[in-house]
Amino acid sequence: MRRRHFLAGALAAPAGAALLPACAADRRRRSADGTVTLRFQSLAWQQESVAANKQLVAEWNAAHPKIRVEYVQGSWTSVHDQLLTAFEGGEPPDIIHDATDDLADFAYGGSLADLTDLLPRRLKEDIPAESWRTATFGAGIYGVPFLQEPRMIMANSALLAAAKVRIPTARDPWSWEDFEEAAKRLTRDGTYGVAWPLKEPVSATLNLSLSTGGRIFHRRPDGKVTIRFDAADQAVPAVIHRQLGTDRTGSRATLGMGGSDTLPGFFGGKYAMVPLGFSYRQQIVQQAPKGFRWTVLPAPAGPGGDQRQGVSPQTLSIAEDCPYKEEAARFIDFFLRPRNMVRLARGDWLLPTGTRALADPALRTREHGWATGAALAPALRPAPAQTVRGYPEWKDKIATPGLQEYYGGEIGMAELKERLVKDGNLVLARYQR
């Protein structure tokens, strides 16, 4: 799950790094007394999360004086290009914080180490198979998924009560039809029932469409991926299109907004509900005016109460060029012990993947919707595009503009389908020759 928030600049590859031979790099990381230094590039950005990351590094260093970990601050906004530069220059971080939707090209390209035989049994068994699938490319595991972010509905409690809308729960969620009806009842007196921040519409559309059976990407027996956009894939986009168009229960002004941009309108009663990532709860807690009452609702369910939702967990990987892979794996095992995973989850306001961490009472409290999110964890699945080579280009050049025009009413479903499928398959074909 790539976090689209802002943090000052990512680490760039050192000047002249490409000229350093491997033996020189190896000597730089092992001192005369045998102390190994591992560089850990973290993408933590929230104050609580940065503090938790740095504290865990400090605890490791205090307990392992011969295997020192150096904390390096990176940035979600530039991590892909920064890693490309670092890999090409021969000086990547040893331990790499990223997200599963960014790993495919690095994994298939040989830049990341296969962790299958490096990770301890404890860690492998603690994280569910569905989560491991998000970081599995071919026959190898190229990242340890440890934090994940479902999409939830942040709702104004006072407006829900005034409209006498049934409050959905994880056990009794709204269907998509229920969600549309609730939005209609909440649209009154200058308030829109829902705000869809769709500056980046692809992830939300694909991941929520799992509940209606949507996949879009289909792997053939020969291993190649093709794109389809069938009725199951169209169901959720059609709901959003109706809300923004014919029903007028959603504000078109939010189409170009990011999630944070909708919060002032949410606080001011302009929008009764906003579908947002789970971590946005922190911003609501910090920024909401005094007395503002809000709640966290589960995303709508598909046919038969299907609550599946795609996620792209945050990961820890090891560079293939790292000369001390076993030591790096030991640090990852320490970093992701259950109690540490809880600290990381609370610092980032996300859900851990580990079953023991997820069961911690601190993540099961009703305060700020923690329990609602935790209850949905079993329904989280790998995002549809997880292992698709060429997905970033398809997303940026085809899907993002196509969905934005569809949601804005500039094109219809037929043209959207043609673009996503016909143009999209041409893009993917270049990556699968």
Q: What stretches in the chain show pLDDT beneath 50?
A: 1-27
Question: Integer distance in angstroms from the first to the last C-alpha of the chain?
Answer: 28
- One domain, residues 72 and 129: yes
- One domain, residues 226 and 256: yes
Closest CA relative to residue 277, chosen from 385, 191, 384, 204: 204
Burial tier of 270 (Cβ tally within 10 Å: 0-12, 13-18, 19+): middle
Question: Would residue 10 count as lying in a domain?
Answer: no
Beta bridge partners of 70: 39
Length of the chain: 433
- One domain, residues 346 and 412: no
- One domain, residues 266 and 400: yes
- One domain, residues 330 and 303: no
Convert the pLDDT of each residue in 250-259 to its tens digit.
999 999 999 9
- One domain, residues 301 and 350: no
- One domain, residues 137 and 220: no
Convert the pLDDT of each residue in 231-247 to its tens digit.
999 999 999 999 999 99
**How far apart are the C-alpha atoms of 48 and 56, rounded to whole Å?**
12
Q: Look up the CATH number of the domain holding residue 407.
A: 3.40.190.10
- One domain, residues 288 and 326: no
Closest CA relative to residue 67, chosen from 375, 323, 381: 323
Which DSSP letter does residue 223 get?
S
**How far apart are the C-alpha atoms of 265 and 179, rounded to whole Å?**
20
- One domain, residues 286 and 157: yes
- One domain, residues 239 and 202: yes
**Residue 70 to residues 38, 75, 82: CA-CA distances in angstroms?**
6, 16, 18
Question: Would residue 11 count as lying in a domain?
Answer: no
pLDDT for 136 equals: 94
**How far apart are the C-alpha atoms of 58 and 101, rounded to whole Å?**
29
Q: Under the phi-then-psi rule, with left for phi > 0, alpha for psi from -120 to 50, and beta for the rest, what region is 219? A: beta
Count the neighbouring beta carbons within 10 Å of the beta carbon of residue 409. Answer: 13
Closest CA relative to residue 298, chosen from 205, 147, 166: 166
Supply angle C-alpha 398, 402, 407, rounded to 5: 155
Specify the amino acid at residue 7.
L
Please name the residue that has the structure tokens 């939300």.
Answer: 204
Domain extent, residue 97, equals: 17-149+312-382
Q: What is the value of pTM for the model shown?
A: 0.89
**How far apart are the C-alpha atoms of 69 and 118, rounded to whole Å?**
18
Question: Would residue 339 count as lying in a domain?
Answer: yes
Q: Which tokens go with 25?
A: 């790099």
Convert the pLDDT of each residue in 128-187 to its tens digit.
999 999 999 989 999 999 999 999 999 999 999 999 999 999 999 999 999 999 999 999
pLDDT for 413 equals: 98
pLDDT for 14 equals: 37
pLDDT for 3 equals: 46
- One domain, residues 66 and 180: no
- One domain, residues 376 and 403: no
